[in-house]
Amino acid sequence: MKLHQVRDFLAVARSGSLRAASRELDLSQPSISKSIRQLENTLGAPLFERSIKGVSLTPFGEVFLTRGRAALNELQRAKEEIHQLRGAGGGQVSVALTGIPLMTLLPAALGRFRRRFPNASVRVVERRHDATLADLREGTLDFAVMPLSTMPEGLVTEVILRDQNVVIGRRGHPLRQVGSLRELLGASWVVTRRQGEQAAEFEANFQLQGLPAPKVEVHCESVVGVISLIVNSDLLGYLPRRWVTTGIGRDLLEEIPVSAPIPATPICLIRKAGMPLTPAAQAFANVMTAEAEALAGPGS
């Protein structure tokens, strides 16, 4: 198996046709077709199904796609790591962040990182938890900082920040002075993930007080979207308290103290197991952790 064969396979899988892959790689279609045939012969299995509409992955191709992406991503990181160890500038760090990390940790952490790696390229993405975990396993991301309650297979997690969930609304919300959670049953709510931990935490808060969970009007997977909805409407959220005590939310949101806070899912730094981070990625992870420790305060 040769690296150019894996490269050609990934290009065809990504583009869906030999013609598009040849344009992307600036190679002839016959050379790419030959490369794919050689790879299939080496593996002893067909990777693509050919048709007049193009090509599609076989079940064997689907398996090889995940491994092939991970292999090339790790080789690219190895190249960057060697450049960085030799003192060359540049390199790239790719990280997924959610909620609190985006709003409160990233700005200061980026400033500290830039003082050591002024020429490095930093890529920050915000996406669903399942997509983030898949990208970490494939090596598309260096690490992620997000809420997580269990250790996923093949990944290493470290808790860097803890918080408590509270009811949050916009400044001056008409229900800000109600005296109980029961009085909020008729309110409209937004949760940050349609399924999973945050929705379960939301329902658990009502169940602890013997109340039915109210209807969720909006499921939103974007931090900017959640803030915009709460600030510009009467929607309520059940979110970590730091949404109203730090960052941009401090001046736009307020806590509605109608129930005893319960622990939120801890925020973790997550990376692929068995693979060290590049010097630049490790430095960025370190400053994110340091900012989390500073935010938590002494004794946390």
Pairwise CA distance, residues 281 & 120, whole Å: 10
Q: pLDDT tens digits for 286-299?
A: 999 999 999 887 65
Whether the full predicted model's pTM is greater than 0.85, yes or no, is no
Mean residue pLDDT across the chain:
86
Pairwise CA distance, residues 114 & 143, whole Å: 18
| pLDDT tier at 195, thresholds 50, 70, 90 | very low
pLDDT at 284 over 60: yes
CB-based contacts of 94, cutoff 8 Å, min separation 6: 123, 125, 140, 141, 142
- pLDDT given at position 194: 44
pLDDT at 72 over 60: yes
What are the CA-CA distances from residue 221 to residues 40, 134, 150, 199, 242 (Å)? Answer: 40, 17, 20, 12, 18
What are the CA-CA distances from residue 203 to residues 185, 238, 254, 261 (Å)? Answer: 12, 10, 21, 13
- pLDDT given at position 92: 83
Higher pLDDT, 221 or 101: 101
Q: pLDDT tens digits for 109-164?
A: 999 999 888 888 899 998 888 889 988 988 889 999 998 878 888 899 999 999 98
- What residue ranges define each of the domains in the chain, with the CATH number in brackets? 3-78 (1.10.10.10), 90-161+266-296 (3.40.190.10), 164-263 (3.40.190.10)
